Amino acid sequence: MLDIILPVFGVMLVGFLARFFNVLGENANPVINDYIYYISMPFLIFSKIYSVRLGIEHLMLVLANAIPILISISIVVSLWKLKILHQELAALLVITSFFGNIIYLGFPLIELRFGSEALATASIISFVYNVFLFGIGIALVSFFSRRKPAGEGKISSNTLILSCILGALFSFSGISLPDALIKAISAIGSTTAPLALFSIGAFLYGKSLSSPPSKLFLVCFFKMLVFPVIFIAVSSIFGLSGELFEISFLEALMPVAVTNFVIAQKFKLDSKLVADSIIISTLFFVLVLAGFDFMLGLLI
């Protein structure tokens, strides 16, 4: 796994150093993230799903990844109803408990470990996570926080979800697009992985921890332990195995996503707590990744 860890965190280090030496200004990260989120990622997702023939095994893949998310959200809501969780913290945990860095960090790792063909599976998984984030997740955050920024939470305007739907439609229909167009789309999509890792490194520069340790522990505990355990239990019921299980499990292990920070800011929640949880869970993920093969040996 070392041959995967070193390149991934090496690119992140370059992003960090670019900010450290002021090669990039403070406003560079949002621009890079907008390009990744609205252009390169949708192109990548479309091209990968377009290239695969969807079958019954993909339905099992969707269910095995969707049900753990529903369970995770249900646990948070139940803890809030029992008055164990404060409303503001419940609003954060609704999304941070399941939504990890599945694309910015997940896609590069999956490509390095399983090859570029595995990104088709990763794209389907990302579709599931994004539907729940921008559907149920945003709706519950809005309910808990009593705030609803204009335009937030609309699945119909989310480019990641639309690219999944379009890719699936072309895959099912068998309609072929011109090779030149597919090559252009793939070329743009291929910029996602290195830029995403570079962006994470740049984001981590200058960040310091100041959130209450108990809250920080709770957010990381839910994402890095509770959710993966739920996924393991559900995937065993559905009989998910082989590469489909390994890719799904790796995505379930992902640290807290930067997207959660953006959502927390827009809903005026504790964005500092989310930023701190991104830092801690990402650093902890180095150890998780180092032991990934050992964990697979115990599970498979």
Residue range 226-262, pLDDT digits in tens: 999 999 999 999 989 999 999 999 999 999 987 788 7
* Distance between CA atoms of residues 282 and 265, nearest Å: 20
8-state DSSP, 178: P
> Coil, helix or strand for 256?
strand
Residue 50 near residue 196, CB atoms below 8 Å: no
Residue 95 near residue 278, CB atoms below 8 Å: no
Residues 27-54: tens digit of each pLDDT: 888 888 888 878 888 898 888 888 876 6
Q: Which domain holds residue 159?
A: 2-201+211-299
Query: Is residue 47 assigned to a domain?
Result: yes
Rounded to an integer, the average pLDDT of 144-172 is: 70
Among 252, 206, 224, 214, residue whose Cα is nearest residue 84: 214
* Distance between CA atoms of residues 220 and 216, nearest Å: 6
- The number of distinct structural domains making up the chain is 1
Is the pLDDT assigned to residue 153 strictly greater than 60? no
Is the pLDDT assigned to residue 77 strictly greater than 50? yes
Query: Is residue 156 assigned to a domain?
Result: yes
pLDDT on residue 80: 94
Query: Is residue 284 assigned to a domain?
Result: yes
Query: Is residue 61 assigned to a domain?
Result: yes
Query: Is residue 165 assigned to a domain?
Result: yes
Query: Is residue 206 assigned to a domain?
Result: no
Rounded to an integer, the average pLDDT of 163-192 is: 88
pLDDT on residue 213: 92
Is the pLDDT assigned to residue 154 strictly greater than 70? no
Task: Tell me the CATH number at 45.
Answer: 1.20.1530
Q: What is the mean pLDDT of the chain?
A: 86
> Coil, helix or strand for 100?
strand
pLDDT on residue 151: 47
